[in-house]
Amino acid sequence: MTPTQDAQPLSLARNPYADVNWERATQCRSQFHLHEPRNPIDPTSAAHDPPAETDPDESARSTPGELVDKYQRAGYATMAITEHEYYVDGTEFKGMPASPENEVTTWPWSRWDRETPESAMVPIQGAELRGTIAGVDRLHDIVSLGNGLAHGRERPLEVVAADIGDRGGVSFLPHPGKYVGADEIDPYVDLFEAVETVVGVEAFNADDRYPDCRAVWDALVGALGPERPVWALANDDYHARPRPDGAERFDQSRTVLLLEDQSPAAVLGALRDGHSYVQYDGDGVAPTIRSVDADDGRVHLDAPDAGAIRWITGGETVAEGPEIALDAVSGRYVRAEATAGGGAVSCTQPLYLDGRNR
């Protein structure tokens, strides 16, 4: 290799932000994993409902339409109500086989007069389904988006995911840290390699109740590389149940989509392409990421409200500050975390290095 070749800066094999116009794109706060209210909620309140001291009263539960109102008033632009395959209109069918009675989704929103031309919320059809997967001794959840599949029928997760994709939808694995550790990801690797419409995993769920989710995500990103990206999502997994102090779920974790066109097709496209970042508020407010730019072997993150920025590969911090030189990265990818007070954090998607330049 000549000295000139040696001096060439490292490049990225896959950068999900390469074709994002940060000035034109709208940052759309989004929820893709939440449930019909199990109790009454106040759609005008920005707080978790119902309060911790409330006695559950499912007989007076609020409608999915009021749930849409609550999130819209909190500044959300798109969401999917992904009810469990075994819960329909307040009735639980857990342990019962699929039937016309329980093979339904919380759709369409027009049932609650919430899907109108004047609506500011982009509605996405969805459901939380279940299937089997090697290494997990119980049914494993999978979130289906953009299609009408309503029950997994206890099929292998790979078959369920393929069915979702065949219907034009996408899927992701919720709370992976609930099921596996970072050293137990082989079944997940097989799933991602087999079904391209499985777009990613939750990095944050609710009040970050499964912190190992990020270790699982990092392990998958490193194992699969740029040929099969694994994007992060974050969601409230809100059920409108009373939660103790510190375990509230409403408006805690979210996916921020970067959209120039706010339509269902654009939402699904952004999920496929990783045009997003994820946030967890903790006891603070997660910083806004204004841009991620890569050039001349460096990546720069603009997050003015961040108290600190760290760059991560393989779950380890490799640099701090708003910019990183790619030659400081020994792994297959790098991602950034912008943090603020109270444990608040915003995470970019992974940026994959071109191994041919290493």
Is residue 217 pLDDT above 90, yes or no?
yes
Confidence of residue 352 (pLDDT cuts 50, 70, 90): very high
DSSP element (H, E) containing 179: none
Which of residues 26 and 4 earns the better pLDDT score? Answer: 26
**Lowest mean pLDDT, pick from 116-120, 187-191, 332-336:** 116-120
pLDDT of residue 7: 53
Domains annotated for the chain, with CATH where assigned, are 27-45+55-276 (3.20.20.140), 281-358 (2.60.40)
- pLDDT for the residue numbered 58: 66
pLDDT of 339 higher than 70: yes
Look at residue 96 in the predicted model and tell me its pLDDT: 81
Q: Are 123 and 70 in contact (CB under 8 A)?
A: no
- Distance of alpha carbon 64 from the chain centroid: 21
**Residue-wise pLDDT tens digits, 7-33:** 566 789 999 999 999 999 999 999 999
Q: Mean pLDDT, to the nearest integer, of 315-328?
A: 96
Q: What is the pLDDT of residues 265-287, one digit of tens each?
A: 999 999 999 999 999 999 999 99
**Residue 264 and residue 241: Cα distance in Å, rounded?**
29
In degrees to the nearest 10, what's the CA dihedral of 59, 64, 69, 70?
60
Hey, how many other C-beta atoms are within 10 angstroms of the C-beta on 9?
A: 12
Q: Can you tell me the distance from the alpha carbon of 305 to that of 311, in angstroms, rounded to the nearest whole number?
A: 17
Instruction: Provide the whole-model pTM.
Output: 0.95
Residue 92 structure tokens: 């639980």
CA distance 171 to 142: 7
Q: Going by C-beta distance under 8 Å and a sequence separation of 6 or more, which residues neighbour residue 138?
A: none
| Residues whose CB is less than 8 angstroms from the CB of residue 196 and which lie 6 or more positions away in sequence, other chains included | 165, 228
Q: How far apart are CA 204 and CA 251, in angstroms?
A: 12
What is the pLDDT, as a whole number, of residue 295? 93
CB count in 10 Å sphere of residue 315: 15
Q: What is the pLDDT of residue 8?
A: 62
Of all residues in the chain, the percent with pLDDT exceeding 90 is: 84
The structure tokens listed for 324 are 């990183």
Has residue 56 got a pLDDT over 90? no
Q: What is the pLDDT of residue 230?
A: 98
**Are 210 and 177 in contact, with CB atoms under 8 Å apart?**
yes
- Residue 1 has what pLDDT? 45
Using the predicted structure, report yes or no on whether residue 222 has a pLDDT greater than 50. Answer: yes
| Mean pLDDT value across residues 236-254 | 94
Cβ-contact 191, 162 below 8 angstroms: no
115 pLDDT more than 80: no
Look at residue 3 in the predicted model and tell me its pLDDT.
Answer: 47
The rounded Cα 3 to chain-centroid distance in angstroms is 44
Name the 3-class secondary structure at 191.
helix
State CA 62 to chain mean position distance: 25
Pairing of strands 122-124, 76-80: parallel
**57-99 confidence digits (pLDDT tens):** 666 899 999 999 999 999 999 999 999 999 887 788 888 888 8
Mean pLDDT of 216-233: 98
